[in-house]
Amino acid sequence: MRAPLLMVIISYAIAMIGFVLIPGVDNHSQPYRYNFFDAFYILSYTATTIGFGEIPYPFTTQQRLWMTFSIYLTVISWFYAIGAIIALLQESALKLAFKNALFQRDVRNLMEPFYLICGYGETGGELVRALDKNELRVVVLEISPERINELEMTDYQFYIPHLCADAKLAEVLLYAGIKNPMCRGVAALTDDDHANLAISVAVKLIKPELPVLARVQNDVIAANMASFGTDRIINPYHIFGEHLAMRLNALGTYLLHEWLTRAPGDAIATPAPVPQGHWIACGFGRFGKSVVNSLQNDGMHVTIIEADPQGTQCDDCIIGSGVESHILQQAGVEHAVAIVAGTDNDINNLSIVMTALELNPKLFVIIRKNKRHNDPLFQHFNADITMQPSDVIAHTCLSYMVSPMLADFLVTARQQGNAWANAVIAQLVSKLGEQVPDTWDITIAGDMAVAVCALMEQGIQPALKHLMMRPVGQQRHEMPVVPLMLVRGEQKMLLPELSVPLQVGDTILCCGLDQAKSIQRFVMHDIKTLHYLVTGTEMPETWVGRWLKAGR
């Protein structure tokens, strides 16, 4: 902007000096000279092509000649300046600078805890949707403009600050607020393992205490992430293999895990039991290896079909893609109980399953879905298990982000056995319904539970059940909330008794409806309401009333 602005200033200065120096005449034919203000005033309405007239007296010939020169001089200067401004506003660098400034302002203005999501692909989009439903704020970094446009067109209940930039760059991570005290963690969910590694390393070097969840598929890069202290390294194929093994041996535990890690409001159908017997696995890549290992560990006989045995290091397999009927027959599809279509091509996976079902309609089907835009095809097909890596990663991240206690609870729940998980599910369904509930944790300490601590100081002992109640008129009613776990020091109580007295420092994992969560937060901070729930009597509002009650 320096050159056009200087040209405008210089042209105005030359024109003004000319008007001041060239004399005019008044109505009495006496000499008259303009001062600088009058010259600037006349030049302003003339140079902007507004026009007003020759004031205060008609111009002389010399003045009109100078005015003609000034008009062309200043108008050309203005055209040049306006053209330069318009060209500047179209510059991508300036647009990016404005967006960066607005993005940094939005992040600074976030007064609530938030998570930084690096990558708004299929995984990041699913996670952002789930976090938004759980009323958690997020900030998004994405390198693809098309995905940023998709984010802007999606209707979320909260505004999501976002920037189209490369999250591998340390300065971009700083823009996104990793040093902001409100930032609760970073999720590196790009489709590039090296980018996720760079993000994890940068965050751990800049702010080591900030939790980092990173998506990875390569075991070598995963080991590198672990060496830098990445908190959660998520390999979707390993996780799916573990979940498949859980479904084989502990269906109730699997269903409990799925129920608590999905977005609130989703419906969970009871999964069909996984059959025992001969399995066929088409594709021995990362996904296929994980599934085959899980099946073989459970004593299943698995026949592998692989088109590139050298590339996948498959020593014992039938060479082929699996779409050919004779290859499936060679693998024994007529006598098999299940088939796994696990290639990295969605159309091939659908073709494999369609061909196999023509030969054996009773097959149990596990199919891998790679791209979310193929959802209509897979929904129409309706396989027994549809595995999409983005869903697996999003649900795993959600279990760590929504409540830090939820991940610990799920690990502990897997050690309790299938019968215990079935009993928990029955209790949750009877109290909360069949849709996915919300999960949250509460802490009995300081300003996080003001009313609870205040009653304890008065000698009144609240119990766990009082945080699961709400006043309705002159009665106390239970809310649709189930306490899943209470942590007291090193002790973990699964499904604690409601009569357990609360202590300062207790952390409780709750599961329930969103409305109940809001009421519970109010109860924990309103001493009058909590007093009524604990004692069944109204708390006196005046000092005299409290003194009289103490006297009685």
For 11-27, write each residue's pLDDT tens digit: 999 999 999 999 989 88
- Residues with Cβ < 8 Å from 4, sequence gap 6 or more? 77, 80, 81, 84, 85
Tokens at 285, concatenated: 């890549």
- Model pLDDT, residue 548: 53
- Model pLDDT, residue 547: 58
H-assigned helices in 385-470: 389-401, 404-413, 418-432, 450-457
Q: What is the distance between the alpha carbons of residues 529 and 508, in angstroms, rounded to a whole number? A: 20
Fold topology of 111-234 = Rossmann fold (3.40.50)
Place of tokens 């299940």: 338
- Residues with Cβ < 8 Å from 489, sequence gap 6 or more? 505
Angle at alpha carbon of residue 529, lines to 523 and 533, rounded to 5°: 90
Q: Coil, helix or strand for 482?
A: strand
The residue length of the chain stands at: 552
Fold equal for 2-89 and 111-234: no
Q: What is the distance between the alpha carbons of residues 376 and 121, in angstroms, rounded to a whole number? A: 18
Pick the CATH number of 275-383 from 3.40.640.10, 3.40.50.720, 3.40.50.970, 1.10.150.170: 3.40.50.720
Tokens at 261, concatenated: 């890690």
pLDDT per residue as tens digits for the range 436-446:
888 888 899 88
Q: What is the distance between the alpha carbons of residues 171 and 202, in angstroms, rounded to a whole number? A: 10
- Model pLDDT, residue 546: 55
- Model pLDDT, residue 133: 84
**2-89, which class in CATH?**
mainly alpha
Q: Coil, helix or strand for 24?
A: strand
Q: What is the distance between the alpha carbons of residues 65 and 72, in angstroms, rounded to a whole number? A: 11
CATH 3.40.50.1970 corresponds to the domain 437-551 = no
**Domain parsing of the chain, residue ranges:** 2-89, 111-234, 275-383, 437-551
| Cβ atoms 493, 475 nearer than 8 A | no
Q: What is the distance between the alpha carbons of residues 152 and 383, in angstroms, rounded to a whole number? A: 33
Q: Which residues, given as ranges, of the chain have pLDDT below 50?
A: none
Q: Sign of the CA dihedral 217, 218, 219, 221?
A: negative
